[in-house]
A and B are shown apart, each in its own frame.
Chain A
Amino acid sequence: MAAETGDEAFVVFDRVQKSYDGAVLVVKDLNLDIEKGEFVTMLGPSGSGKTTCLMMLAGFETATSGTIRLNGKPINNIPPHRRGIGMVFQNYALFPHMTVGENLAFPLQVRRMGKSDIDAKVRRALNMVQMGEFAARRPAQLSGGQQQRVALARALVFDAELVLMDEPLGALDKQLREHMQYEIKHIHKNLGITVVYVTHDQSEALTMSDRIAVFNDGVIQQLASPEELYERPGNAFVAQFIGENNTLKGTVKAMNGQRATVRLDNGDTVSALAVNCGHADNRTTLSVRPERVFIGARGDLPVTKAAVKELIYLGDHIRCRMEVYGTDEFIVKLPNAASHIHLTEGEAVDICWETDDCRALDG
């Protein structure tokens, strides 16, 4: 987008490749533009190259080929300490021999700031993460969540415009993690900083990001907003990785504009939204979200027979495992609403879904 208007994005990965051994590419031809003030998450399974990308941006790894530009300037040859990029590490990396205050003062001291300036900035940064009273403590005396806040404050205290976060919430328990997600999000919004966030937790990525880059096998599979990514996954990997998904394998029989007629492996034929299934005779994966399946007939949607195999009560919804089109791994989520349908195991029911909710992706 930015390239069209002439002035470049804040962070640009331009055809970046990375190889550690000269034989295998860990990052293959990465192109990514990050706008100023954006919160971009690199999401992917471990070994997908997301952390390598972050380390190249921070300057701890060098790109094997291609250029990375920050604010229009190539930074490939700038050492990490001159890049002015804040970073939050997975294990917080708080210096154990310094107090919280000294930890925060460190980036200011290496910039040779005055004592009173340092004190003011440290206090402001600590207050921002509600850690004002803890300046004299040692990191070892803090809980995981508190250490995380301090690490965040330390990355922000020297007014970095770009902050990188490498799975910063990985070590926290679920409740604290969700709380910190909101907190980081608010800090991002209030300070207007640009954040590049790495995680393998898809719900974390969906909660926090403006845009998510889904990594797999050294390639960005899809770069889109959380909603776009969830509602309209571009390929089978993304559909599988983001949220829960039912997959049905089949072969494309005919294409009709946006519609594909797919013959499933058990012989049945269904109609689906053609996303990237290619042309007729291609193998394809049909993807249906469990919460988009209706029980019983609805309007003139095509219905199919399903057998209830297993019911799991989860409070806010009921997970129902069904046998549909020859697969018994088909999951349907029934919201626990006031008037929801009561199913019993072994029961045979009709199910249906909107044709647009059944997406024909690559095989």
Chain B
Amino acid sequence: MIDTTRTDPKKTLPASDGTLLRKKLHRVLLRSRLRAFGLVVPLLLLIIMAFLVPVVLFLVRAVYNDTFSSNMPNVTPMLAKWDPASEPTEEMYAALVADLIKTREDKSIGRVATHVNRQLSGTRSLFTSTARRAARLEAPFKRALISIRKEWGEIKTWHAMKIAATTYTTAYIARAVDMQLNADGSYSARPEDRRIHVTLFLRTMEISIVVTLMGVVLGYPIAFLLANLPVRTSNLLLILVLLPFWTSLLVRTTAWIAMLQGQGVLNDLFVIFGIATDEHRFSLIYNKTGTLIAMTHILLPFMILPLYSVMKTIPPSYVLAARSMGASPWTAFWSVYFPQSIPGIGAGGILVFILAISFYITPALVGGQDGTMISNFIDFHMRSSLDWSLAAAMGLVLLVIVLFLYWLYDRVVGIDNMKLG
């Protein structure tokens, strides 16, 4: 023993049976760690298979699209080498014709045409109609193509093809923020009448922030009441807070439609009490107001519960101590109680904000024109326009915004300062 302590006791301390104590401890701990890991394996697998992998695979689409490059094998390498400032060469026209014949045969022309059309509208019919006649074309192909459709002689058609031919591209992310990628690799703003995403992102942020703030304003007093009432009363109140969780989101949203619509309950009451006239009822739904009201109501419990659990841990003696030292009830609340409830506001705020920023059903049902959010647009590109790359790019931008805000929150307030109870 005396000899071993002289070297390094941490490394050489023997256990009672002669093996090294450190190794022994490691072996004992390993067994319990493995057992703990075994408990989470099913959930871990489910999350990886059903959540992480699909999300990552889909987000890859934001920067990866091989519709053009895989179906147009001849012209793609030429487009990659081509200097967009120069005229396209006869070989490129020849390769294009060969690819058009191929895509017509394997019926991929529709997808390729749609894909290029997203870069330059009007090119869809150019591709499909040319492909129908491509087999009958003869060299020189440049003149032959231009004689069918003069657009083949225009440089912007080839620029669109060059961008569409790039497999890994930032074009979609650029479009998600109302920019466009040019053939020479530069970016420029999209035409004014085509800018919509930035407005949508800003509106989404605005709605999420307002819903979060309203959640704090409305939820704080309720949480305070819950935390300070006798247990029996507060349990009843807590059930009322949790009640919405037992009702479908769809039911709650449609209930708001019945409440807020022109001929709805609220407007009828306004007319009865003379706040509004029958001809000029308030438009409370199918606009931003409707989205705000319905989302605040739906997300309120997510604010109240973390607030409540934090407030529950604040001993009442703090406020009593402040009062005994001469602080008025308001001062005692503001300078002693409130600072200690901030972790709850932080947790509830982040929870509500992140849920709100990706809210979908409610704005879709009650949002109308100016109450729709970015998620509704992502859905549009997923199901209607089938521009999955753009949808993925918008999702990626949303994810980056959320992560940035999360980072910002950590810098300003501190994540450790967040408590869920």
Contact = CB atoms under 8 A, between A and B. Distances in A.
A90 B340 CA distance: 19
B270 interface: no
Contact of A110 (B317, B331, B339): B331
Interface string A71-83: 0000000011111
A89 B321 contact: yes
A86 B321 CA distance: 9
A97 interface: yes
Contacts of B315: 91, 93
Interface string A89-108: 11101011100000000110
A84 B315 CA distance: 22
Contacts of A111: 326
A12 B269 CA distance: 58
Contacts of A106: 322, 325, 327, 335
A222 B118 CA distance: 94
Interface in A44-88: 58-60, 79-87
B340 A80 contact: no
A60 to B, nearest CB: 6
A79 B328 CA distance: 9
A81 B323 contact: yes
Contacts of A58: 320, 324
Given A91-B315, A93-B317, A97-B339, A86 B324 contact: yes
Given A106-B335, A110-B331, A80 B323 contact: yes
Contacts of A158: 325-326
A148 to B, nearest CB: 14
Contacts of B332: 81
Contacts of A333: none
Given A93-B315, A97-B339, A106-B335, A87 B326 contact: no
A110 B326 contact: yes
A123 interface: no
Q: Taking each of A79, A81, A96, A164, which has the highest tally of chain B beta carbons within 10 Å of its own beta carbon?
A: A81
A80 B331 CA distance: 13
A154 interface: yes
B324 A81 contact: yes
Nearest to A104: B325
B293 interface: no
Contacts of A91: 315, 317
Given A91-B315, A96-B340, A107 B325 contact: yes
Contacts of A95: 318, 321-322, 336, 340
A154 B318 contact: no
A87 B331 contact: no
B321 A60 contact: no
Contacts of A155: 324-325
Contacts of A154: 321, 325
A85 B324 contact: yes
Interface in B306-342: 315, 317-318, 320-329, 331-332, 335-336, 339-340
A97 B341 CA distance: 11
Given A81-B328, A106-B335, A110-B331, A93 B323 contact: no
B326 A93 contact: no
A79 B322 CA distance: 12
A266 to B, nearest CB: 50
A86 B320 CA distance: 11
A158 B325 CA distance: 8
A83 B324 CA distance: 8
Q: Which 3 A-B pairs have the closest CB atoms?
A: A107-B325, A93-B321, A87-B324
Interface of B: 315, 317-318, 320-329, 331-332, 335-336, 339-340
Interface of A: 58-60, 79-87, 89-91, 93, 95-97, 106-107, 110-111, 154-155, 158, 164
